[in-house]
Structure formats: C-alpha cells, structure tokens
Amino acid sequence: MALSLFGNGRRSNVFDPFSLDIWDPFEGFSTLANIPSSARETTAIANTRIDWKETPEAHIFKADLPGIKKEEVKVEVEDGRVLQISGERSREQEDKNDKWHRVERSSGKFVRRFRLPENAKIDQVKAAMENGVLTVTVPKEVEKKPEVKAIDISG
C-alpha cells in the first residue's frame, strides 16, 4: 500500500480502482467544510454547458439538458438585453427498499446569463427542446450596408 498523496495519515492504494478509500478534494478546506455533500453533487448541473454561435441571421444558443423536461426550463430576456436560461432537475424519488451503489447524475437548480449584443431582436426570441438539447434562437437586425452612389467625373 502506498501512503496517501496529501499526508493526512491514511494509507490507501491510489492505483487500486476498487479501493474503498475515496479521496475527497474538499477535505481540509474550512470554507467548504460546511457545504453538504449533496450541494457539491449539484455542480455539474450548476455548470450547464452552453454553446453560443453567431450566424449572419441570428445568435444561436445550445444547451445540453439531458433528463430535463421543457416544463422544467425557463428562457427569459431580462432588462438590459440579458438572456437568462434557468431550470431545475429534481432528485429521483428514493424508496426505503432501494440500495444505491453510486449517484453521479446531478440534480438541483441552474442559471446561465448572457448579455446580448445591440443587434439582437429581443422581441423575436424562440426556443425549442429536442432530445435533451435546448436551442434558443435570437434573430439579428439586418445590417444596413452603406449606400454607395457612383459619381461621374467630368472632363
């Protein structure tokens, strides 16, 4: 058995994938010690990944929200041209007869905000949910190209 890498006095085999000695990265941090483990388990949903791309016609946001129903998601445009995507994944009901071996899927609330550029048509925002992917489309104002008038040169 190898000594623990962080010198906490415990002995563990860090290379054994079946070792019951689990390293807690928050152990020893007094500021995080008061955070319950259930709150730490929600970090994945709190850090929902969202892609934002700009096309010539629109700004398109795509969020992976597996297992979340469209009724559990809100898409809003707040004052100051801020797009807010929020929601909550409920924790699965626990039966007293169930024996959980591992809980890796996250639950809890998430909120993401994006400041939209001046060319966004905030009154025409559309959202759709398909196969666990939320797509929010924000159309853009058509850029007015400067009018160029050719001038004949005399002489």
The domain limits of the chain are: 42-90+105-142
User: Looking at residue 124, what DSSP letter applies?
Assistant: G
CA distance 120 to 57: 10
User: 0.85 cut: is pTM over it?
Assistant: no
Backbone Cα Rg of the chain: 25
Residues 41, 52 contacting (CB under 8 angstroms): no
Q: 138: buried, middle or exposed (CB in 10 Å: 19+, 13-18, 0-12)? A: buried
Task: Supply 9's token pair.
Answer: 């006095």
What would the mean pLDDT of 21-34 be, rounded to a whole number?
50
Q: What is the pLDDT of residues 71-129, one digit of tens each?
A: 999 999 998 789 999 998 877 777 788 887 887 777 788 899 999 999 999 999 999 99
What would the mean pLDDT of 43-68 be, rounded to a whole number?
85
Amino acid at 62: K
Assess if CATH 2.30.130.10 describes domain 42-90+105-142. Answer: no
Q: Which band of pLDDT confidence, cut at 50, 70 and 90, is reported for residue 27?
A: low
Pick the closest to residue 111 from 50, 36, 37, 39 (CA basis).
Answer: 50
Residues 63, 133 contacting (CB under 8 angstroms): yes
